[in-house]
Amino acid sequence: MARILIADDGIVFDGRSLEAGPLGGVESSIVNLVQELAKRGHDVHVRNNCAQALDHRDVSWRPIGEAWPDNVDLYIANRGDKVIQRMPDAGRTVFWIHNPAGYLMKWRYLSKLWWTKPAIIFIGRVHETTYPAWAPSGERIVIPYGLSEDFCAAAASDAMPAPRAVFTSNPLRSLDWLLDRWAQDIQPNVPEAELHLFTGAATYGSAGDAKADQMAAVLAQADALMNQGVVLRGPVPKSQLIDEFREARCMLYRGDVNETFCLAVGEAQAMGVPAVVQKYGSVVERVIDGETGYVADDDRAFAEAAIKLLSDEELWRRQHRTALDKQRSWRWPNAAAAFENLIG
Q: Tell me the average pLDDT across 50-59.
A: 97
Say whether pLDDT at 33 is over 60. Answer: yes
Architecture label for domain 149-326? 3-Layer(aba) Sandwich (3.40)
For residue 174, how far is the Cα from the chain centroid? 16
Per-residue model confidence as pLDDT tens digits over 109-138:
999 999 999 999 999 999 999 999 999 999
Same fold, 3-147+330-340 and 149-326: yes
Q: Give the pLDDT of residue 22.
A: 85
Give percent of the chain with pLDDT exceeding 70.
Answer: 97
Predicted pLDDT of residue 25: 87
Distance CA 168, CA 237 (A): 11
CB 54 within 8 A of CB 15: yes
Instruction: Give me the residues paired with residue 77 across strands.
Output: 7, 95
pLDDT digits (tens, 9 = 90+) for 155-181: 888 788 999 999 999 999 999 999 999
Name 46's bridge partners: 6, 61
Query: What one-character-per-residue DSSP string does 178-230 give?
Result: HHHHIIIIIGGGSTT-EEEE---GGGGHHHHHHTHHHHHHHHHHHHTTGGGTE
Average pLDDT over residues 48-66: 97
Closest CA to 294 of 270, 269, 324: 269
Q: Above 90 in pLDDT, residue 154?
A: no
Averaged pLDDT, 207-214: 69
**342 vs 154, higher pLDDT:** 342
Report the predicted TM-score, pTM, of the whole model to 2 decimal places. 0.90
The pLDDT of residue 205 is 60
Flag whether pLDDT at 214 surpasses 90: no
pLDDT category, 209, cuts 50, 70, 90? low
Dihedral angle over CA of 243, 282, 167, 251, nearest 10: -70
Element housing 323 (H / E): helix 313-326
- How large is the average pLDDT for residues 207-234? 87
User: Hey, where are the domains in the chain?
Assistant: 3-147+330-340, 149-326
d(CA 225, CA 232): 10
- DSSP assignment of 109-149: HHHHHHHH-PEEEESSHHHHTTS-TTS--S-EEE-PPPB-G
Q: Say which range, 8-12, 99-103, 204-208, has the weakest mean pLDDT.
A: 204-208
- pLDDT tens digits for 238-294? 889 999 999 999 999 999 999 999 999 999 999 999 999 999 999 999 999 999 999
- SS3 of residue 231 by DSSP: strand
- Amino acid 204: pLDDT: 60
What residue type is assigned to position 139 of the chain? E
| Averaged confidence pLDDT in the chain | 95
pLDDT of residue 153 exceeding 80? yes
CB within 8 Å of 26: residues ≥ 6 apart: 10, 79, 98
Report the residue count for the chain: 344
pLDDT of residue 227: 96
pLDDT in tens, 8-29: 999 999 999 998 888 888 999 9
Asked if the 3-147+330-340 domain carries CATH number 3.40.50.300, the reply is: no
pLDDT, position 202: 65
Examine the pLDDT at 61 and tell me if it is beyond 60.
Answer: yes
Distance of alpha carbon 104 from the chain centroid: 20
Q: Name the CA radius of gyration of the chain, rounded.
A: 21
